[in-house]
Amino acid sequence: MAGNTEEEMRRSQFSLTETLEEVNQQGEAQAIELKRNREVVACLQATLSKVDKSSEVVQLELNGTERMIHSLADDMVQLQKRTCGLQSESQEIYMENMKLQIQIEEEEDNCQLVLAGYNMYRNKMESYKMAISKQESQTAVHRELVEKRATVNKLTKKREDLRADLQNPAGNVLRKAQNEIDGLRVQIYVMEERVRDRTQLLVKEQETHAQLRKDIEIQSRRCEAILKRLRCQLHKAQSNHRQLTDDICCLEKEAVNEIFRITSAGEKMSMVVIVDLFHSHCPEYNDCLQKRIKKVSAVVCNGKYGHVYFMLQTRDQMNASGLGDTVTAQLEELIQLNDGTRVLEHSSLAASLYCFKQAVDELDQRAVLVLTSTQRIDELQAYQDQLFTALYSFEYTAAFDECPAGAAIAPSGSCVKDQVAIFLRQLPALKGEISILRSSLISDCFSHGFTTRTGGISYIPTLGSLNLFSSSRRRDPRAVVAENIRRLGLQAGFDPEKFHLVKTNHASDLWVMGKPPPESYDGIVTNQSGVIIAAPGADCMPLVFTDPVAKVIGVAHAGWKGTLMGIAVATVNAMVTEFGSELTDIVAVIGPSVGPCCFSLEKESAEAFHAIHPRCVRDRGSAMPYVDIRLATRILLQRGGLLPHHIQDNTVTDRPNLTLCTACLPDSFFSHVRDGNNFGTQIGFLWIKE
């Protein structure tokens, strides 16, 4: 009995030991699993922290997107207002274009096409606006944020529950928590994918908004360029209309003056007669000369022509031929019969015709009757082309028999040109020496200047003396102007053969050297060394532009029409686009021109300058307000990107003033305002030193 009890006690002790070992093993397993769960919880906490940070970043991005959307909405409102303004302005321009003449009907069609394109652009902008509004209505960013915050709160609550359940030895809750953690990991992964998708969507929306903004800016620039071009075309058409009106008025005045001159002359014709007795090298010179004098005596005696000029060699040349006394007696008899008879004795035909032109200009006549032989007509016409302009009317009559040797000795046109040039070089300078104004703002790598009116050979009062432009409407011929340019070249140091003067049309056309020149243009730009470019001016502004960095130059002729057409800024833009100049490197100098003290315009034209700046117009309420074209040019150049201290005009006080008033200084400058249509021309010239 006792033995059984001891055996049971041993068994019981062994069973208790095994139980304790199992309990210890279970405790160790639970401790390991508890440690593992703690690590899982720590990882979960780190993941939750990342989710919180991602939520904050997404929230910031959403806030930025909302601000951007509001900004775009404001931009769209401003664009719509601006679009309405542009549309109304385009309609006004269209209504005004309907009133123009047939010359701009083609431009009206272009304007309609532009307006149609603009309406298409407006519809496109409206569709863009509707698309943006639709995207805003479909955005569920805020709802997703609420869901994410609820998920975070739920995770936080479960984290607290897990901490409480870790105390349960059974471990069932831990497995359940592990399953829930796995599910949460899947949800977190899905949410991260959705966040990435939303982020990509936001990036795409930002790119779309940026592209829309660029498209809006491009379309706005296109609209502004189209409107600017339409305004320029409108101003050009109006300028052409005014020019035609002015030309008609001038022609009417000239016709009235011509009728008055013919009426006041009575029976005597206003045509001036020149008798060609100038034909040396003739083998029968003695007989020819006497026959011609006898033949034209009837013209002198009938009194039909008030002024008759005999053109022949000098008295010494005639004496050498044995005709001095005979011819002198015959001519003195003719002079007694007609007080208007004169004798021109010169050693060269160029000198005789130049003296004859001076007499015609002094009489204020234009019509000339030339009595000569058939052989001599071509030679005399060659001299006419050199010494007269289209303002004069020549009529040639073959009144004499042909000279036996005349055809063999007739000089060519180039020979006539050379003979005229040689004669003109011998003439003395009038009104003093050549004077050139120069700006200290121009770099030494360029040579430039602005001319005055002294030192040339032009003798007509309003053209005297350094006139540098020949026109068919004025009396100064090409040969005289060429001689003036030659003398200027000697003084300034340039070759007249490389001299290029702007062919004005009072617009904004330019010639970029290296390209074919237009038929007419108001500006020249180049980067070629040794080529002289020049712009004329007589009240209009000669503008000089230099870029010492890129070695580019330009000149422009800017009257009030060209100023409104934008010739100054067009010249600057050509230097930038064609030769790579920087706006901050370009220097501009405004030469002598009419000041606001002397220049006035019709009220309609003056309003265009008032639109540039109110200070450009004085006495705005009067019928003919005074206009400051120089100030308008400075303002336009500054708006175009030039630095204010890189522009020299009459407002600059720290340098000698070159922008003098041409109308106020008659001894120094030519002026259309002061002198009328027969005015002279000064220039601004410029070249790059070689």
The contacts of residue 659 (CB under 8 Å, 6+ apart) are 590, 591, 592, 593, 630, 648, 649, 650
The CATH fold of domain 268-425: Rossmann fold (3.40.50)
3-state secondary structure 386-419: HHCCCCCEEEEEECCCCCCCHHHHCCCHHHHHHH
528-583 pLDDT per residue, tens? 999 999 999 999 999 999 999 999 999 999 999 999 999 999 999 999 999 999 99
Lowest mean pLDDT among 88-102, 177-191, 313-327: 313-327
pLDDT band, residue 136 (cuts 50/70/90):
low
Is the pLDDT at 213 greater than 70? The verdict is: yes
Start-to-end CA distance of the chain, whole Å, equals 140
Question: Residue 66 has what pLDDT?
Answer: 79
Work out the widest C-alpha separation in the chain, in whole angstroms: 199
Cα-only R_g, the chain: 47
Q: Where are the domains of the chain?
A: 46-236, 268-425, 436-594+660-688
Question: Residue 325 has what pLDDT?
Answer: 57
Q: Which residues pair with 644 in a beta bridge?
A: none
Is the pLDDT at 407 greater than 50? The verdict is: no
Is the pLDDT at 98 greater than 90? The verdict is: no
pLDDT band, residue 662 (cuts 50/70/90):
very high
Choice between 377 and 12, residue whose per-residue pLDDT is larger: 377
CA distance 490 to 305: 44
| Beta-strand relationship, 305-312 and 269-276 | parallel
CA distance 58 to 686: 64
Mean of pLDDT values over 375-401: 91
Question: Residue 175 has what pLDDT?
Answer: 67
CA distance 300 to 277: 15
Lowest mean pLDDT among 159-163, 409-413, 656-660: 409-413
Degrees, nearest 5: CA angle 331-337-339: 90
Mean of pLDDT values over 451-463: 96
Quick one: what percent of the chain has pLDDT higher than 90?
45
CB neighbourhood size of 634 (10 A): 24
Lowest mean pLDDT among 118-122, 381-385, 617-621: 118-122
- pTM (2 d.p.): 0.63
The CB-based long-range contact list for 318-324 (8 Å cut-off, 24+ gap) reads 318/289, 321/285, 321/286, 322/286, 323/285, 323/286, 323/289, 323/290
CATH number at 436-594+660-688: 3.60.140.10
Beta-strand runs (E) in 540-649: 541-547, 552-558, 587-590, 617-618, 626-627, 647-648
pLDDT band, residue 448 (cuts 50/70/90):
very high
The closest alpha carbon to 122, from 86, 74, 92, 97, belongs to 86
Choice between 423 and 148, residue whose per-residue pLDDT is larger: 423
Lowest mean pLDDT among 154-163, 335-344, 474-483: 335-344
CA distance 289 to 524: 54
pLDDT band, residue 172 (cuts 50/70/90):
low
Lowest mean pLDDT among 171-175, 373-377, 475-479, 559-563: 171-175
Q: Which two tokens stand for residue 112?
A: 């309609």
CA distance 2 to 454: 158
pLDDT band, residue 138 (cuts 50/70/90):
low
Is the pLDDT at 101 greater than 80? The verdict is: no
CB neighbourhood size of 10 (10 A): 10
What is the full DSSP assignment across 628-665? -HHHHHHHHHHHTT--GGGEESTT--SS-----BTTT-
pLDDT band, residue 191 (cuts 50/70/90):
confident
Is the pLDDT at 301 greater than 70? The verdict is: no
Q: Give every strand in the sheet of 532-537, ordered side by side.
A: 436-437, 446-451, 682-688, 532-537, 499-501
CA distance 177 to 158: 9
| Beta-strand relationship, 523-526 and 552-558 | antiparallel
Choice between 255 and 51, residue whose per-residue pLDDT is larger: 51
Choice between 639 and 175, residue whose per-residue pLDDT is larger: 639
CB neighbourhood size of 97 (10 A): 20
pLDDT band, residue 290 (cuts 50/70/90):
confident
